Structure 1
């Protein structure tokens, strides 16, 4: 079963917690046991699982800017001036996450959250959520 989550972003570089929206899709789809695949269709966005503490998120943004600076004479900038966004997404983030589900709940750790990272906003983005049930086998 496939769902879509709309993710409007307001900043050029923004990190948004989408965990609650993903969990709602699990409940809506009545997935009891299985996995959820979360996928971003955009080449200048990414996904990660981490703690959404504000200091950590600022550290993450600072480190990304340090590792892949904007305007560093990238060849792709001849087209639309966002090569840094593509490189950050490709080198430092995932376009997909796989999360186990049991008893209808995402099996994330205590501080883990699903984070959507906008690298070239503001834009209107969409994230796909695929619910994949696991068949239960009787115990022997």
Structure 2
């Protein structure tokens, strides 16, 4: 069953590490866990979940892709900036599993970045051994 993530802002970053960790099946001691977001205006990354850094990430994405900049797609849905920001992110990440847990570095977290919120986002987690 996918993780359902509620976002609260147009551009929102949510730490989903704990939810991903819960989906590592019992008995998988070593393997690979793939986290995939099922949307074209969101991404999944591995990075530090420190609040000031997350604010910097949001500012950076807004600087690279300004809101309402005369994009052709805006005539259809008004969210071209969201699609363009998501292109700069990954739709999936793979994290090793070691000793039955995600083998993330000390400061690493799995982050969902929603570029077109607020919405409910679905994130699929698949673990293999």
TM-score, normalization by structure 2: 0.96
Q: How many residues align?
A: 128
* Alignment-derived partner of residue 18 in structure 1: 16
Q: What are the residue-to-residue correspondences of 1:51-62 with 2, within 5 Å?
A: 51-62=48-59
* Alignment-derived partner of residue 108 in structure 2: 112
Shift of 1:125: 1.0
Separation of aligned partners in 1, 2:11 and 2:85: 11
Q: Which runs of 5+ in 2 are unaligned?
A: none
Pair member with larger Rg? 1
Separation of aligned partners in 1, 2:107 and 2:60: 21
Shift of 1:12: 1.1
TM-score, normalization by structure 1: 0.89
Separation of aligned partners in 1, 2:90 and 2:116: 16
Separation of aligned partners in 2, 1:16 and 1:38: 14
Separation of aligned partners in 2, 1:64 and 1:8: 20
Q: Tell me which stretches of 4 or more aligned residues in structure 1 moved more than 4 Å.
A: none
What RMSD, in angstroms, separates the aligned Cα atoms of the two structures? Answer: 0.8
Q: Which runs of 5+ in 1 are unaligned?
A: 134-140
* Alignment-derived partner of residue 8 in structure 1: 6
Q: Select the residue among 40, 47, 50 that pairs with 2:47.
A: 50
* Alignment-derived partner of residue 99 in structure 1: 95
Separation of aligned partners in 2, 1:85 and 1:12: 9
SS in 2 for 1:23: helix
Q: Select the residue among 84, 94, 102 that pairs with 1:87.
A: 84
Q: Select the residue among 120, 126, 139 that pairs with 2:122.
A: 126
